[in-house]
Amino acid sequence: EAQVTQNPRYLITVTGKKLTVTCSQNMNHEYMSWYRQDPGLGLRQIYYSMNVEVTDKGDVPEGYKVSRKEKRNFPLILESPSPNQTSLYFCASSNIWRTGLSSYNEQFFGPGTRLTVL
């Protein structure tokens, strides 16, 4: 089954304690990204990756790190979490954009990780 998996699904932690949220996809997608969702703001992109070893900042990258050592995995790292990083996080993957090929451009989302930083 084609899917994006994230772990953990729920996490409560304390300020300053490093954590990693894992993301894996089995569709051989080149493009992966992380979003955070906050009330009234929709989803905002944190970081993205076009392929292995190619990553770049999204709209809200402060306080986060990522790596893409393998095509299927794209972990999100919070080196020193703070309460303002309490949010719902989504990992997503897709093919690189192709004009005119509708179904090709869909982004597949993981189930989400609810993070609370105390």
Partner 1 sequence: AQKITQTQPGMFVQEKEAVTLDCTYDTSDPSYGLFWYKQPSSGEMIFLIYQGSYDQQNATEGRYSLNFQKARKSANLVISASQLGDSAMYFCAMREKGSSNTGKLIFGQGTTLQVKP
- With a CB cutoff of 8 Å and minimum separation 6, the contacts of 99 are none
Confirm or reject binding of residue 1 to partner 1 (CB under 8 A).
Answer: no
Whose Cβ is closer to partner 1: residue 78's or residue 90's? Answer: 90
- Choices 11-19, 44-52, 68-76, 77-85 (CB under 8 A): range interacting with partner 1: 44-52
Q: Pick from 5, 11, 13, 44: which binds partner 1 (CB under 8 A)?
A: 44
Does the footprint of partner 1 cover residue 31 (CB under 8 A)?
A: yes
Site string for partner 1, 49-68 (x = CB under 8 A): -x-----x-x----------
Whether a cis peptide bond, with omega within 30° of 0, leads into 81 is: no
How far apart are CB 109 and partner 1 at their closest, in Å?
Answer: 4
Q: In what order do the strands lie in the sheet with 19-25?
A: 4-7, 19-25, 76-78, 65-66
- The two structure tokens encoding residue 74: 């794209």
Instruction: Compute the distance between CA of residue 62 and CA of residue 58 in angstroms, rounded to an integer.
Output: 10
Pair 6, 93: CB distance under 8 Å: no
| Residues in contact with partner 1 by the rule CB under 8 A | 31, 33, 35, 40-45, 48, 50, 56, 58, 88, 90, 92, 94, 96-97, 99-100, 102-103, 105-109, 111-112, 114
